[in-house]
Amino acid sequence: MTGAEEFFIGSIDQGTTSTRFIIYDKHAASVASHQVEFTQFYPEAGWVEHDPTEVLQSVRVCMAKAMDKATATGHNVDAGLRAIGLTNQRETTLVWSRSTGLPLYNAIVWMDGRTSAICHRLIDQFPGGRDHFVPTCGLPISTYFSAVKLLWLMENVDVVREAINSGDAMFGTMDTWMIWNLTGGCGSVNLNEKPVKGVHVTDCSNASRTMLMNLRTLEWDRPTIEALGISMQILPKIITNSETIGVIANGWPLAGIPITGCLGDQHASMLGQLCQKGEAKCTYGTGAFILLHTGEDIASSKHGLLTTLAYKLGPEAATNYAMEGSIAIAGAAVMWLRDGIGMIDTAAEIEEMAEMVENSGGVYFVPAFNGLYAPWWREDARGVCVGITRFTNKGHLARAVLDSMCFQVNDVLASMHKDAGEMKKEEGEFLLRVDGGATVNNLLMQIQADFLGSPVVRPADIETTALGAAYAAGLAIGVWTEKDIKAAAQKGKPTIFHPKMKEEQRRKRLQSWQKAVSKTFDLADLS
């Protein structure tokens, strides 16, 4: 890598609340980036939507601004940009018109809970109940996944149903929507003035989150699709995570640059962290997502976890799998403190506020805003805050919100230990690798280490999601090898947080947390 001529790889990181574009040099070091937040729509309680056109605009702005920043700092990115990787919020679902390119409804976000009634209907309909499709796709029937969101659109939005019947509808998750538009959409011209249309694809990691892909064949599972009454004609082609997908069309910044990598965000961060078989990582963002790399083995869970794809780095590469525990509300709880009740002005303020107190003062906050995911899978759960006394102040509430993230991660890791047995250790200790924006909060990381009773390792570059997408893109065009990216990952010095809490205190806190979680059940109106 060090002897190669200068080049750059771009990475689109399209998340739940914001989009960013990061440019990496040949050493996989960030040279410029730009980030834009976009609107969160809450039409009804438990509903969350995005405007797909606003998301596209955020991509456009981030690409242009990051390129300007790189150029302003003396980097010749116009001549040296070789490829772009893409990573995205998973499960978020939309349908658009093949002829006009316009979305037929807002994107239904992954944490949206409107499909509860559909889920209960399917659970009653199929002999395997909630786990009916698990042997094929690794996922239980849940509001979380794309297939039930698509069913809701088919059953409740007339224009979607009509477009499907007429052959004009296209389905996709955010990766599919972005790639289709970036490569030409419903009609564009390339640099040679030849007509082009967008590429309708999804990568195998995003496809693995729809409930519709067979984990073994990495193809759409026809029996599942027929059982759910979904048309095969609206589904994108499934591709691997590291291959040439298409070329950015005219009208976009970076026209002519190939898109050569695509992964769902959690899969990208696992690649960015270079997790090996038996290693676990947690990404702290809007939600929190813990993945345990299981190598080429498809590992099933008996304790509420998901079986999912890790990544497949090229058509001829081995398929790697993972076991996952997904937490719906992590950083989103901090945003609720900021935007919902106005207790803080910026997300960063929560650390200082929480440090005003030594602990939560007996307050436990369970952010089951739209139900609980792993390991509980309770769509009927709703958020609670218990243990409040006259002694309670805003510092205790802030601390309880941070605690809630760490308690939930601890629950998932406890289930992983039960399913996977002894996880890989370094120097006799299990290490949790962490990344994501919330990990800049040192107090949060220390609380996590205390609740786990084991070290937490934060890399020098916490934006490993974007980095993983860049790795995939660079590998596809041969400018990097696996040896190169391993060498790049070893350059930065990680920060390690060691547990300080006594075992008896830890045990009591975890018991109280479990009691608080039980108070969230059966609170939702699912009629």
Q: Determine the average pLDDT of the residues in 344-356.
A: 89
Residue 276's pLDDT band (boundaries 50, 70, 90)? confident
Q: Determine the average pLDDT of the residues in 91-113.
A: 95
Distance, CA of 400 to chain centre = 24
The confidence score (pLDDT) of residue 5 equals 78
**CATH number, domain 327-441+504-518:** 3.30.420.40
Instruction: Tell me the pLDDT tens digit for each residue of 234-246.
Output: 999 999 999 999 9
> Which CATH number among 1.10.8.420, 3.40.309.10, 3.30.450.40, 3.30.420.40 corresponds to the domain 8-273+462-489?
3.30.420.40
Q: Determine the average pLDDT of the residues in 58-69.
A: 96
The confidence score (pLDDT) of residue 421 equals 64
The confidence score (pLDDT) of residue 2 equals 44
Instruction: Tell me the pLDDT tens digit for each residue of 166-181.
Output: 999 999 999 999 999 9
What global pTM score does this model have?
0.88
Instruction: Tell me the pLDDT tens digit for each residue of 447-480.
Output: 999 999 989 999 888 888 999 999 999 999 999 9
Tell me the sheet residues that pair with 21. 12, 34
Instruction: Tell me the pLDDT tens digit for each residue of 401-442.
Output: 999 999 999 999 988 888 776 555 555 567 788 988 889 999
Q: Is pLDDT at 251 greater than 50 in this prediction?
A: yes
Q: Determine the average pLDDT of the residues in 94-120.
A: 95
Listed in order, strand segments (DSSP E) in 144-217 are 169-173, 188-189, 195-196, 201-203, 213-214
Q: Determine the average pLDDT of the residues in 81-102.
A: 96
Decide whether 8-273+462-489 matches 327-441+504-518 in CATH topology: yes
CB 426 within 8 A of CB 290: no
CB 234 within 8 A of CB 434: no
Q: Is pLDDT at 488 greater than 60 in this prediction?
A: yes
Instruction: Tell me the pLDDT tens digit for each residue of 359-377.
Output: 999 999 999 998 888 888 8
Residue 489's pLDDT band (boundaries 50, 70, 90)? confident
The mean pLDDT value of the chain amounts to: 91
Sequence-distant (6+) residues with CB within 8 A of 316 are: none
The percent of residues above 70 in pLDDT, for the chain, comes to: 95
Distances (CA, A) of 523 to 4, 375, 526: 59, 18, 9
How many angstroms separate the CA atoms of 472 and 210, rounded? 22
DSSP code string of 410-456: HHHHHHHHHHH-SPPEETTEE-EEEESGGGG-HHHHHHHHHHHTS-E
Instruction: Tell me the pLDDT tens digit for each residue of 191-230.
Output: 556 667 899 999 999 999 999 999 999 999 999 999 999 9
The confidence score (pLDDT) of residue 429 equals 61
CB 29 within 8 A of CB 470: no
Domain ranges of the chain: 8-273+462-489, 327-441+504-518
